[in-house]
Structure 1
Amino acid sequence: MTADRIVTSDDSRLRAVAAYGLSPDVMQGDLEPLNRLASTLFGVPTSMVSVVAEHQTFFASRVGISVCEVDRRISFCHSTITQDEPLVILDASKDPNFHDNPLVTGPAHVRFYAGAPLIGPSGAAIGSFCLLDTSPREAFTSADVANLKLVATLALDKLEMRRLARAEQASDNRFRQMAGTSPAGIICADHEGIIRFWNQGAEAMLGFSAVEAEGQPIDFIVPHRFRGGHAGGLRHVGAGGTPKLVGQSVELSALCKDGSELPIELALSMWRDEGTASFGAIIRDLSGRRANEERLDRLAHRDHLTDLPNRLVLRQRLDAIVRAQHEAVLLVLDLDGFKQVNDTLGHSAGDRLLQDVAKRLVSVTGPLDMVARLGGDEFAIILLEGEADRRGDFVAERLIQALSVPFTVDGLAFNLSASVGVAFYPSHARQADDLLSAADLALYSAKNEGRQCYRLYSPGLRQAALQQHALAGELRRAYENGEFRLFYQPQVDGAGRLMGAEALLRWEHPDRGLQSPAAFLPFLEKSSLAVEVGQWVLQAACAQAAIWRQDAPSFRMGINLFGLQLHTGDLAAEVRTVLKQTGLPATALELEVTENIILQQNDLALQMLRTLHADGVSIAFDDFGTGYASLSLLKRYPLSRLKIDQSFVRNIGQSREDAAIVRSIVHMARAFGLGVIAEGVETLEQQERLLAKGCDELQGYLLGRPMPATSFASRFGLVDRPVGEIAA
């Protein structure tokens, strides 16, 4: 919360502003590096040091903006100078005080503003150090506010140096009156370089009292290795020569009384009384400022958690490699299994694990290589030395091996693995962005091919990515244009009676006709569209089941869930709403989930399934026996029945192993009180063997292929009203 400043007189404030002698761009050289640092640190295109004058607000320094002044009445800084704390506006178009401001509604299109007031020693606000962006922000954290105030302090230091230098140049008497109480160190010397004035600020800074310093040559405060040139330069100017440093600020080291050296900023001025030169120097301790600048530089270029170079530094190194045309290898690495640590122990434990990961990555690479954190659990490594192709493979294998050793966090052991994408410069790409893209594509390939492996980039990966991008657009249009259809495959009991159906999604492409599920389902289930399509399937299939139950009161509808439906939103509430809208009883609905989907979910998903199961909704475990954790999941999840995967059914008559697996699944289901249905039944022999082993129901081509609702209704004598084929 900010405290408003009480400004009793704008005239007194304007007099304080005038003391700095500021005008548009007058301090561009001094303050531009600070503006550029702020632009990088806060990720904004525009950074400025503003001065609020009588009628306009102008910019003493600026980056990212072409104009040098605006009308004071519409400037954001006009509001900033009325308070002590920074003014932050995340979205100006929604702010009641600024939504109709011409800077917001006009060509400038300002959406985000953050400004810290620049308050001089007199208490008057000169202007602000401000940030602008044409995009709104979701947040500007307390850490961001603290960093903005720190940058503003550095800018105010520069302004104060200018004010003091101007005041010093006005007259020697005024200079001495002001210098006596100034917190800055102020020294005066005559034309021979002998110190004639030494204020309390200089004493506090360097340790020498005025008695010890006055009468000494100016070299008195210069470290021994630099002495010799300073006094000679002063005598040269005193004799009428042209001054080299007068009017400038320079950074150098000063010798303290205790023998230590202090980094200072020195502004030198000169005046003549009756033809004799005199000199004044304003010195300021830079140790605190340098520490702050180093901290800001680290914030802008280092990852705060692992202290590795960040994405910005990685990109700068890649740009340098491209300019030098130096062969290099880029590896992009993503952790597999990291989510389990965050879910189990919390984010603080996850942070400690990432720090351990960073140390292992650095230990595997060489002294000339760069390891950077891109964000989250993703890292990048640049290799420069050695034969590029061969070393890239070798390091990728070592990275995977190093991260496969268990990590210990809070006394618990965690097994992680890593997927790595590898791309070579210049053979795979000749620009930094293209090289990053190539390594990312190789990483996605590694994750899709089983994880805990590395893959090299190939042009085919980019072509596949383009095809997937095109498919994403087609699927969105298919949903919006109502091209999705529902087909239904019957499920029957041992006596051949219809018990229900599984709703299966199909795509009726306007040009290519009915698409195979393999052509689009694997991509759809990973896309954000899965939630919308899944909701439509639930609505349409339940409505269809409610119609068919008019002729088949015990009819049950099976619906496959996408993983994202369990990960986002409230599935339990959505199902309850659909059942109420369609009039379908909860006991007539069966939701099918695969083991792979379950393994990716959290406790919230488990709770939603338990809620639905308690309502009477059946939960079926699809493709049972093909995953990794079936037995443990049977204990934890609220299941109603198991679906035996068709891979075990296919060779049940020829393979003793498959027959034994089917028999074991049936016995296991009985022990857990679960029903059993076998998929992929295509022959009478398979049907007989499955029934003999105790399967409750069957599903497969022998009993009926997936078919449109009209065909399904006709075959089984049901009400012919095909809800499942309506447009989305």
Structure 2
Amino acid sequence: MTDTHNASSYDRRYRLVPIRIAVVYCVLALLWIWGSDQLSLLLFGDNPWVQTYKGSFFVLMTALILYRLIDRFAQSQRRIYGRQLALTQSYQSLFNEHPLALWLVDTAGSVIQQNHQSLAMVGEVSHLDQIFASQFHPLFNSALLSGDLSALKDEMQLANGLSVSVLARQLQFDSHTLVLVAAVDLSRERQARQQLAQSEKMMQALVSRLPQVFWSFDVASRRIEYVSPGYQALLGRDPQMLYVDAEDWLEAIVPMDRDKVARVLASGQRLRGETELEYRVLDQDGNERWIKDNAYPVTDEEGRTLKVAGIMTDITESRTQRSRIWHLSHHDQLTGLANRVLLGQSLNRWLRQGKSGFMCLLDLDRFKNINDTLGHKVGDEVLVQLAHRLRRRFGDEMLIVRSGGDEFILAAPRDLSLDELEALVAHLRQGVAEPLVIGSDRHVLTHSLGLVRFPEHGSDAESLLRCAEVAMYAAKQAGRDNYRLYSTTLSGPTLERVRMENRLRTALANNEFLLVYQPKFSLNAQRMVGVEALIRWSQDGRLIPPCDFVPLLEDTGLIRQVGRWVASTALMQLKAWQALWPGLTMAINVSAVQLDEADLADFFAGELNRYGLAGALLEVELTEGALLRDPEQALAFVNGMRSKGIRLAVDDFGTGYSSLSHLKDFAPEVLKLDKSFVQPMASDTRSAKLVEGVIALAQGLAIEVVAEGVEDEKALALLAKMRCDTVQGFYLSEPVLASALSSTQGAARLSAVSGGA
């Protein structure tokens, strides 16, 4: 209405411009005619030239006035034209670049103008019939007649088959009625909707097959907006119930876990990032399942939480695996008891909590004998039964641990008096001492026990275990089958033993052992006929003698591994010496602990074969004590060696419980007279007679006699006079490294004695 009023006012104003000019001209002309004659008569009189000048002046003045009026009008017209041109250009630009397809048509349907988008859609056209399908034109005419073009606002089909949404508006230009028709291509929108529908369908199909449960919770209404089908598969509950009442979700959660889930939902407004929860739920069968729920806040532009979305994952299997892994890493696989890891964690926790208590370290005495004689299967069964007994009797009161091998530990955060501790230890020892029945055999176990109290004896698990080991080793040194309460007076020698044992366990791997060799000389042949391999331990630049570490090797069982290393190393060296001293023999010492190794004879035979050596070149030395500790076992060992051609030497003969029947039973090839008989011969007639008698007896049984400990010329001369077979001692040669072995000194001294004789 306002635009129409402004246009009519504009038209009237510019139609009056010529009239205004004419009126001004008439008024000025009349005023000039009427007034100029009177004024000229008054001023100049009746002169003819006055009329001429007056007329000329009038023409000039009116021309000037007309010029000014016409110029102003022209300037106004130019401004109007410029604005119209700008408006036209803006209109054209807006029309042509409009994102909708536009056509300006008259009432007959002829196209007056179309924009770029319409050209791209249908090309250049001259009539509506070329644009739309045939049914459009009747609708167009009907809408024009009714004056209601809103009827054309509908989805229609173009002549080229495109589906569009049409909108029409009627426009008035002067007295002409025009219609602006706009069209929107719906094919892309429909394609997008189809793609969206397909995507939603695909996502729904994927989500329905995923084991996870996807959910969305509206914070304002406190309602579940969405839950995926996996919810029913997981819990067997109808997910539709959640849309009615979100509490149905919480009811499925195990009561003790329900509060923490409810707190997350209640604090939805305060969530600032991902929140992860693990809780338990009950499925429709009442089975407990573990759920991991990752919740994410969905916020608006101002950071306010509108919704909470989440993903529920069934982690029952992983939790079970995690529990299984934790159990395996904290428990002994054989007995099911706790291991040192769990013990350390428990001790340190009790100490942090300021609790007092005790710990017993129990080590079975000579348990290796069970493993080695009856087999590891029986040994394992003994450990399992003992663990079961300890658990049954003390499991409710103490943490029971198998710390490795044949060691058990019992600990508890109970502050007991010394009397109470002694009573408990007595009860424990009695339980361990009761026989265990494995098959048809009864096994009575003895043990050594170390007892510590905390925090008195240590501020952490490591120090407590160290003190318990010191006390346990002190019990072993006291004769085994005993116990000791830790005190600082035990730490010196016992701790040194523990340290030495720990060093021995790595000595072989670190190449700390070495062999030295002491020659043996034949008095008859006047030459070196054999060597004895002797082990030494190189520790921190010094050589430790065997008497300081071999007993510990035997106690720990390490002698088995070390003994085989000695044999292999010595035979490899013997092979190298055969070129220099053909027929040279090698003697090695075998511990009593090694006699129960059923495959030891096969091992020696394998090493001999490896280096191409005859069995007769190897002598295995055993002490009388080793032979007599278990004669049946010893005899089986000797027979096994003899079957491989290996010779037996009885070492330190005369120092043990000697019996002539043993010489008959074991029938050794060599007797080695102990130096305690050989060295005093020069001053002790009884010793000389004993040595002479043993030599005569042995030679009568075709047994070679080796006299050890020959440390001076007198002893050597006496042995030569007694016709001893072989001699060995520092006077002839001390033990030396393989590179320093020589027969020169010994042979020279043998020759001197022989010449003197």
TM-score interval (norm. to shorter): 0.5 to 0.7
State the AA in 2 paired with 1:598: Q
What is the SS of the residue equivalent to 1:703?
helix
1:163-203: CA deviation from partner (whole Å, max 9, x where unpaired): xxxxxxxx999997875554322344554344453421111
1:120-147: CA deviation from partner (whole Å, max 9, x where unpaired): xxxxxxxxxxxxxxxxxxxxxxxxxxxx
State the AA in 2 paired with 1:577: K
Deviation at 1:633, TM superposition (A): 0.8
What is the SS of the residue equivalent to 2:620?
strand
**Structure 1 residue aligned with 2:214:** 186
1:252-287: CA deviation from partner (whole Å, max 9, x where unpaired): 454644566644333445658999955544323343
In structure 2, which of residues 599, 602, 609 is the aligned counterpart of residue 603 of structure 1?
599
Tell me if 1:703 matches 2:715.
yes
State the AA in 2 paired with 1:520: P
| Structure ranking higher in helix proportion | 2
1:360-386: CA deviation from partner (whole Å, max 9, x where unpaired): 333453623222122333332224436
Please list, as runs of the form range in 1=range in 2, the aligned pairs for 1:385-400 lying within 5 A after superposition: 385=414, 387=416, 389-390=418-419, 393=422, 399=428
**Structure 1 residue aligned with 2:407:** 378
Rounded to whole Å, the distance in 2 between the matches of 1:236 and 1:700 is 92
**Structure 2 residue aligned with 1:716:** 750
Rounded to whole Å, the distance in 2 between the matches of 1:472 and 1:292 is 36
**Structure 2 residue aligned with 1:16:** none
**Structure 2 residue aligned with 1:355:** 384
Rounded to whole Å, the distance in 1 between the matches of 2:515 and 2:573 is 20
**Structure 2 residue aligned with 1:149:** none
Rounded to whole Å, the distance in 1 between the matches of 2:513 and 2:327 is 53
Rounded to whole Å, the distance in 2 between the matches of 1:285 and 1:173 is 24
**Structure 1 residue aligned with 2:563:** 565
What is the SS of the residue equivalent to 1:380?
strand
Distance 1:384 1:264, change over 3 A: closer
Indicate the RMSD between aligned Cα atoms, in angstroms. Answer: 5.5
Tell me if 1:213 matches 2:241.
yes
Please list, as runs of the form range in 1=range in 2, the aligned pairs for 1:99-178 lying within 5 A after superposition: none
For the 8 Å contact 1:491–1:502, the answer to whether it is kept is no
**Structure 2 residue aligned with 1:522:** 547
**Structure 2 residue aligned with 1:640:** 648
Please list, as runs of the form range in 1=range in 2, the aligned pairs for 1:393-432 lying within 5 A after superposition: 393=422, 399=428, 401-405=430-434, 407-409=436-438, 416-432=445-461
Deviation at 1:437, TM superposition (A): 1.6
1:574-624: CA deviation from partner (whole Å, max 9, x where unpaired): 2642442542415x5444445x24346452356417968833433343244
Q: Which structure 1 residue ranges, 5 or more long, are not aligned? A: 1-170, 529-560, 649-657, 721-728
For the 8 Å contact 2:372–2:596, the answer to whether it is kept is no
Distance 1:220 1:575, change over 3 A: same
State the AA in 2 paired with 1:219: E
In structure 2, which of residues 464, 480, 486 is the aligned counterpart of residue 435 of structure 1?
464
In structure 1, which of residues 241, 250, 254 is the aligned counterpart of residue 277 of structure 2?
250
The number of aligned residues is 489
TM-score normalised by L of structure 2: 0.51
Rounded to whole Å, the distance in 1 between the matches of 2:346 and 2:256 is 36
State the AA in 2 paired with 1:522: C
Please list, as runs of the form range in 1=range in 2, the aligned pairs for 1:195-344 lying within 5 A after superposition: 195-210=224-239, 212-213=240-241, 215-223=243-251, 242-243=269-270, 247-254=274-281, 256-258=283-285, 262-269=289-296, 271=298, 280-340=309-369, 342-343=371-372
Rounded to whole Å, the distance in 2 between the matches of 1:232 and 1:219 is 9
Rounded to whole Å, the distance in 2 between the matches of 1:481 and 1:231 is 62
What is the SS of the residue equivalent to 2:244?
coil
Q: Which structure 2 residue ranges, 5 or more long, are not aligned? A: 1-198, 554-558, 642-646, 700-704, 717-727, 734-744
Rounded to whole Å, the distance in 1 between the matches of 2:206 and 2:392 is 57
Rounded to whole Å, the distance in 2 between the matches of 1:276 and 1:488 is 93
Distance 1:606 1:642, change over 3 A: farther
Distance 1:424 1:357, change over 3 A: same
For the 8 Å contact 1:419–1:451, the answer to whether it is kept is yes
What is the SS of the residue equivalent to 2:715?
coil
**Structure 1 residue aligned with 2:91:** none
Rounded to whole Å, the distance in 1 between the matches of 2:233 and 2:560 is 71
What is the SS of the residue equivalent to 2:414?
coil
Deviation at 1:217, TM superposition (A): 0.8
For the 8 Å contact 1:269–1:279, the answer to whether it is kept is yes
Larger Rg: 2
For the 8 Å contact 1:372–1:380, the answer to whether it is kept is yes
Distance 1:376 1:507, change over 3 A: closer
Rounded to whole Å, the distance in 2 between the matches of 1:173 and 1:229 is 36
For the 8 Å contact 2:356–2:455, the answer to whether it is kept is yes
For the 8 Å contact 1:642–1:675, the answer to whether it is kept is yes
**Structure 2 residue aligned with 1:557:** none
Please list, as runs of the form range in 1=range in 2, the aligned pairs for 1:463-474 lying within 5 A after superposition: 463-464=492-493
State the AA in 2 paired with 1:290: R
Distance 1:487 1:449, change over 3 A: farther
For the 8 Å contact 1:194–1:217, the answer to whether it is kept is yes
Rounded to whole Å, the distance in 2 between the matches of 1:308 and 1:471 is 26
Rounded to whole Å, the distance in 1 between the matches of 2:383 and 2:669 is 42
State the AA in 2 paired with 1:604: L
State the AA in 2 paired with 1:373: R
What is the SS of the residue equivalent to 1:525?
helix
Distance 1:393 1:616, change over 3 A: farther
Please list, as runs of the form range in 1=range in 2, the aligned pairs for 1:672-687 lying within 5 A after superposition: 672=667, 674-679=669-674, 680-681=676-677, 682=680, 683-687=684-688
**Structure 2 residue aligned with 1:13:** none
Rounded to whole Å, the distance in 2 between the matches of 1:635 and 1:232 is 76
For the 8 Å contact 2:215–2:310, the answer to whether it is kept is yes
For the 8 Å contact 1:335–1:378, the answer to whether it is kept is yes
What is the SS of the residue equivalent to 1:242?
helix
For the 8 Å contact 2:596–2:633, the answer to whether it is kept is no
For the 8 Å contact 1:624–1:645, the answer to whether it is kept is no
Rounded to whole Å, the distance in 1 between the matches of 2:406 and 2:501 is 28
**Once the two structures are aligned, what percentage of the paired residues are identical?**
20
Distance 1:433 1:187, change over 3 A: closer
**Structure 2 residue aligned with 1:618:** 619
TM-score normalised by L of structure 1: 0.53
Rounded to whole Å, the distance in 2 between the matches of 1:179 and 1:376 is 53
Distance 1:564 1:635, change over 3 A: same
Deviation at 1:666, TM superposition (A): 4.6
Distance 1:295 1:583, change over 3 A: same
Rounded to whole Å, the distance in 2 between the matches of 1:428 and 1:393 is 17
Rounded to whole Å, the distance in 2 between the matches of 1:576 and 1:489 is 14
For the 8 Å contact 1:252–1:264, the answer to whether it is kept is yes
RCO (CA 8 Å, sep 6+): is it higher in 1 or 2?
1
Please list, as runs of the form range in 1=range in 2, the aligned pairs for 1:426-575 lying within 5 A after superposition: 426-447=455-476, 450-464=479-493, 520-525=545-550, 564-566=562-564, 570=568, 573-574=571-572
Rounded to whole Å, the distance in 1 between the matches of 2:527 and 2:572 is 28
Distance 1:388 1:306, change over 3 A: farther
